Structure 1
Amino acid sequence: MKKTFILMMLSLYASYNYAQGLILDGFMQKKGDIISALSFSTENYDTYYVGEVKTQNPNLGTITTNSTSLYVVGGITDYLNVVVNLPYISSKPSAGFWSPQSDFQDLSIFLKGRLFNHNFESVGQFSLSAGLGYSTPISQYIADAPISIGHQAKRTEFRLLVQHQLPMGLFIMAQGGYLHNYNVTIDRGYEVLVPDAFDFTARIGGNIKSFYADAWLSNQIAKKGTNIGPGVPFPGNAISFLRTGFNLYSTLPFVKNLGVSAGMGFTLSGENIGKATRISGGLVYKLSVLK
């Protein structure tokens, strides 16, 4: 059940922001196992960071972003999994003349492999995993606008993850990643450098029978880029943030292999990003086991 919820939580987390990479977990699906999760989320903000300075813009008002994300993971072997994520995102302002945007965003595909796994009787199980991923836009959304759902940039990611499962059912996870963004040609007719970034995530969680809860903290640090401002190409902005949140999950007793979850996320600080509050929910279901 813990593995199932982690998948649900990750699907909620995956489309938190177009500037953020795909977060992995330390659990592995067995060979032939396929699990999918469908998540829904909404976030809004009326305050955003220009550089690291908070500001508001009456010509935008409150920006609301809704997303629906399909997250699927399958076991190629017991130690190698493939992860696919596809979000549909809509974003709109409450004021001003900027047009809203709605479309499929970026398709992400990851290979995740377990490098080390050992159960120490007195302190629990330790595992080390690595992930290599690629994402690419699959629609023609506009990147260089205040109301945008993505960068239109292709990306490769590399991640290392350490997880410790304690004997009493708790687990602690920490991971670090590097996000390499490729240049993008925007509608204004010239090529823009999209800054690379490092990110770090820590999580602690556990379950009691069919109920699960966890808390997380995520930090992204962008390499050198521009700040939000008149005439500045939006994909070239350096986007950094510190976020925290929690997730809750419970199985449904009347439907086998089905569970529901809810969560919240908060932007504590940032750079060239909205100070958003996010509410998420979703369903996860084990579709099949291929042997």
Structure 2
Amino acid sequence: MKLTIKIVWAILLCSITRQSFAQTDIDAIMMEKNAFCVGPGYSYSSWKNYWEGTKKRENLNLGTVSTQMFAVMGNYGVSNKLNVLFNVPYVVTKASAGTLRGQSGMQDLSLMLKYRAINQKINNSRIALFGLLGGSLPMSNYNADLLPLSIGLQSKTAMARLMLDYYYDSKWFATASATYIYRSNVTLDRDSYYTDEFILSNEVKMPNATSYNIRAGYRTQWLIAEAVLNNWTTKGGFDITQNNMPFVSNRMNATSLGANFKFVFRKKPQLSLTGGASQVVAGRNMGQSFNVNGAVFYVFDLNKKEKATK
């Protein structure tokens, strides 16, 4: 029943939500040295049905639960092999029925290092291997104990990812990645809670998670069109009990299918548009959400500024 917001979008958000944005931590695109790509992004997701454990159902007291995310994302090329990425999201949640009020606020700041270790050409193909390290931390004191309308989980995260990209004939590609996510404990505004046992504490141990992503399609300098399969699996946790609210340490699994695009303007190659959509097709303690998103990016060449100054 957990909202597909940033930390479950890919890290999910990772997250499932960030997968259409250009030059992200989940694709095989790199910025050149001293190039800075930045821009605003927007995503909207909603669900009516959800999985209570493995049982699919709906809750008329909630109606349709929706999430909007407004974000500023950026990517700086430290070198042609090393990029630094960031994501600053503002999240708004809402339920169309019932008495639960939606939440809004700054969510979690994400920072990522992306390193291309191998970039080998073989005949008409090219194979690249990437390693990524990063994490996230809450930017505000939002309440994580109000699921499914919380804007986040208040857990600090650290992640490591390996990503392999195969590029053929300068047009077709396939990219696969595997990620492990460590999540810190969460402190609640109460001194006891119940999981599958009664616990007299305000600290909740969060299960870690893994994420797998496969994307393939058409990629050139001017246009990218791709299909995406994403899986998020929590390594532990427990199921939502019948007719109960979800909890921060629930087992939350989700598999989604989606499609993305990126369009670069030929007359203004620094400017690009991205967009995409995805659907959760299988899950556990998750909403069966549909997501659409888009972003506008501009690339600043800091090399040119330095030359102009000199």
TM over 0.5: yes
Q: Deviation at 1:228?
A: 2.2
Contact residue 170 and residue 220 of structure 2 kept, 8 A: no
Contiguous gaps of at least 5 residues in structure 2: 15-24, 192-201
- Say yes or no: does 1:55 pair with 2:57: yes
2:289 counterpart (276, 286, 289): 276
- Within-5 A mapping of 1:1-291: 17=9, 20-22=12-14, 23-122=25-124, 124-146=125-147, 147-189=149-191, 190-207=202-219, 210-229=222-241, 234-252=247-265, 255-290=268-303
Q: Aligned equivalents of 1:65 and 1:96: distance in 2? A: 16
Residues 84-118 of structure 1, C-alpha deviations (whole Å, 9 max, x = no match): 11111100101111111111110011111112111
Contiguous gaps of at least 5 residues in structure 1: 1-12
Amino acid corresponding to residue 133 of structure 2 in structure 1: L
Q: Aligned equivalents of 2:11 and 2:83: distance in 1? A: 24
Amino acid corresponding to residue 12 of structure 2 in structure 1: Q
Amino acid corresponding to residue 20 of structure 1 in structure 2: L
Q: Deviation at 1:226?
A: 1.9
Contact residue 246 and residue 285 of structure 2 kept, 8 A: no
Q: Aligned equivalents of 1:264 and 1:286: distance in 2? A: 24
Q: Deviation at 1:232?
A: 6.7
Amino acid corresponding to residue 262 of structure 2 in structure 1: Y
Instruction: Output the aligned Cα RMSD.
Output: 2.1
* TM score, norm. by length of structure 2: 0.83
Q: Aligned equivalents of 1:118 and 1:200: distance in 2? A: 24
Q: Aligned equivalents of 1:58 and 1:14: distance in 2? A: 25
CA shift in 2, pair 1:188/1:19, >3 Å = farther
Q: Which moved more, 1:91-100 or 1:202-211?
A: 202-211
Contact residue 53 and residue 240 of structure 2 kept, 8 A: yes
Q: Aligned equivalents of 1:155 and 1:209: distance in 2? A: 33
Amino acid corresponding to residue 184 of structure 1 in structure 2: V
Q: Deviation at 1:281?
A: 1.6
Q: Deviation at 1:251?
A: 3.0
Contact residue 192 and residue 233 of structure 1 kept, 8 A: no
CA shift in 2, pair 1:87/1:160, >3 Å = same
Contact residue 21 and residue 157 of structure 1 kept, 8 A: no
* TM score, norm. by length of structure 1: 0.89
Q: Aligned equivalents of 2:266 and 2:79: distance in 1? A: 30
